[in-house]
Structures are given as C-alpha cells and as structure tokens.
A and B are shown apart, each in its own frame.
Chain A
Amino acid sequence: MLKHILTSAVFAGVAVGVLAAAVQLWLMTPLLLEGELFETGARVHFAADGSPQSEAGPPSLMDEPVRHLTTAGFGIVTFTAFGFLMAAGFALATRAGHVVTPRAGLIWGLCGFIAVQLAPAVGLSPELPGTVAPEVEMRQAWWLGTVIATTVALALIAFGRGTLSWIIATALILAPHIVGAPHLDTYYGVAPPELSAHFAARSLGTSALSWCLLGLIAATVWSHQEEAS
C-alpha cells in the first residue's frame, strides 16, 4: 500500500511540480516581480506629482535565474506534498471499496483546488508581494482551518450517506466564512488594483490547472498499480 502511495505521489508531484513551475514562470512571476517594484517604491502608483497613472510592465525574468530555479524546486516539493496527501486519500477510498479511476482523479484534483485554493481565497485573496495584512500566524490559522473544514465537507459529500452528511458538509463549508478571515480595518495597498486583481485571478487559474493535473496523473498511476497487483 505504502509503495503504491509513494509511487503515485512522487510521480504526479514531480510531473505537476515541473509543469506548474513552467506555468508560474510564464504567468505568475512577471506579476510578482512587477508587484515588488511597487513594494520597494521603485515604481509609485498615484505618484506625488498628482499623475493618476503609473508605468506598466514587468522587469526581465533573466536577472535572477537562481531565484526562479528555487521557486521551481519548491513548486515540486509543494505538489509532491499534495500528492502524498491525495494518494493517502486514494488508499483510504480503495480500502472502503471505491475504485479510483483517472476520471475520478480529475474530480479529486478539482476538490483539492476547491479545498486548498478556492475556499481560502474567498477570505484571504492571493496577495501580491508588499500587501499589508494582519499577523501571518492569524492568517495561517484561518487558512488551515478553512482547508481542513472544506476537505472534510467535500469528503462527506463524496462518501457520506444520508441527509445529515450534507447538512454537516454545508455547515463546514460555510463556518470559516461566517467566522471571517482576519482583515485589517484600513487599506494600505501600494500596487495598482489592476495588478493585484490580475495576480489573484492568475493564481487561482494556474493552481486549478495544476490540481486537476495532479489528480489526473496520480489517479492514472494509482489505477495502473492497482490493476497490476
């Protein structure tokens, strides 16, 4: 069992990590670097001279190759970690008599995206560097609580039986948002809102793609191993 989990997790995690790194370098890193220009004050939106506009466009990607390589490395680690958790879920589902097909894997991936990216983003939007926010520990606690509550809720919807499962699942999905994510009572944004919005949308879009691929690849490897054993 452990061998099946490790093989699915590592294969899918590394494959998706590499793909996600490429997509992030293409779509996310230019926005990150542009955000840093506003974070450091190298560029100023609504400058003191009263002009309401600021120059748009990212700096070159070629300036810091080591930085982008370590980002790619951490992408692989992150998706391998998600792969371990997902494959552990496959193993539990298989033990309970469910067959994990590649098509089902795609839905597992979508659920991972909903639980780990979309639900927390409803309270804490993806942040450009330089965004001023409450204490990181408070945000991490809310983020983690939301991810756990949403994961349990989706598992209840997928595998639970009876109306009670659905009622508990609905309560678990709503609870973190009723409690509310930690927010400041003032705005501090220094980056143009267009840039922040673009960053948040692309963060969700690229992670949706990565999670779907993770589910699909991990389940494909998993079902091959199950058939072979």
Chain B
Amino acid sequence: MKNDVKVIAKAQPQSRIDSDLIGIATAALLGLFLLFAAGFAQATVLHDTAHDQRHAMAFPCH
C-alpha cells in the first residue's frame, strides 16, 4: 500500500518518463559494451590482456 502511494506521488509527465527510459537503456548498453570488451571480444590484444580475468570469472575464453 505504501509503495502504491509512492508510485502515484512520483507520477511524472510523459517526457520525463521517456528520458528516464533513455537513461536506463543508455546505461544498459554501456554495460553490455564494456562486458563485451572485457569478457567476449576475441581480438588478440584484448584476449591476451583480459586472459587471466576471463579465466577467473569463468567466461568462455579460448
């Protein structure tokens, strides 16, 4: 019930909601990009320097 009240109280105009969603999507994309570089990219330089970290975190490495 308390949460419901908070939701109503926090209701925002449409433009604010859209900018929130853009912010969330930007952060998620940034996270995925960094994760790809650190954990997935097979380019030799990235692979070699990230090698030990990938093994320690159990990312499929090579």
Contact = CB atoms under 8 A, between A and B. Distances in A.
A136 B28 contact: no
A105 interface: no
Interface in A73-120: 73-75, 77-78, 80-85, 87-88, 91-92, 95-99, 117, 120
Contacts, number: 131
Given A74-B38, A82-B35, A128 B27 contact: no
Interface in B6-31: 6-7, 19-20, 22-28, 30-31
Given A74-B53, A83-B31, A203-B58, 16 more contacts: A1-B20, A1-B23, A5-B24, A32-B52, A71-B50, A77-B37, A78-B34, A84-B27, A91-B20, A91-B27, A126-B55, A129-B55, A136-B60, A143-B60, A203-B55, A207-B58
B28 A78 contact: no
B34 A81 contact: yes
Interface residues of B, number: 38
B58 A91 contact: no
B58 A88 contact: no
Contact of A98 (B3, B19, B23, B34): B3
Give the 6 A-B CB pairs with smallest separation, nearest first.
Answer: A84-B31, A2-B23, A81-B34, A126-B58, A139-B60, A81-B35
Contacts of A125: 58
B28 A88 contact: yes
Main secondary structure of the interface of B (DSSP, over half): helix
Contacts of A133: 60
A28 interface: yes
B35 A88 contact: no
Contacts of A5: 23-24, 27
B43 interface: no
A172 interface: no
A181 to B, nearest CB: 10
A152 interface: no
Nearest to A23: B56
B44 interface: no
A29 B52 CA distance: 7
Nearest to B33: A81
A140 interface: yes
B35 to A, nearest CB: 4
A44 interface: no
A97 B55 contact: no
Nearest to A116: B57
Contacts of B40: 140
A75 to B, nearest CB: 5
Given A77-B37, A124-B58, A99 B3 contact: yes
A140 B60 contact: yes
17 contacts: A1-B19, A2-B26, A9-B31, A71-B51, A75-B53, A75-B56, A78-B57, A81-B32, A84-B31, A84-B34, A85-B27, A97-B6, A97-B7, A126-B55, A127-B61, A136-B42, A203-B56
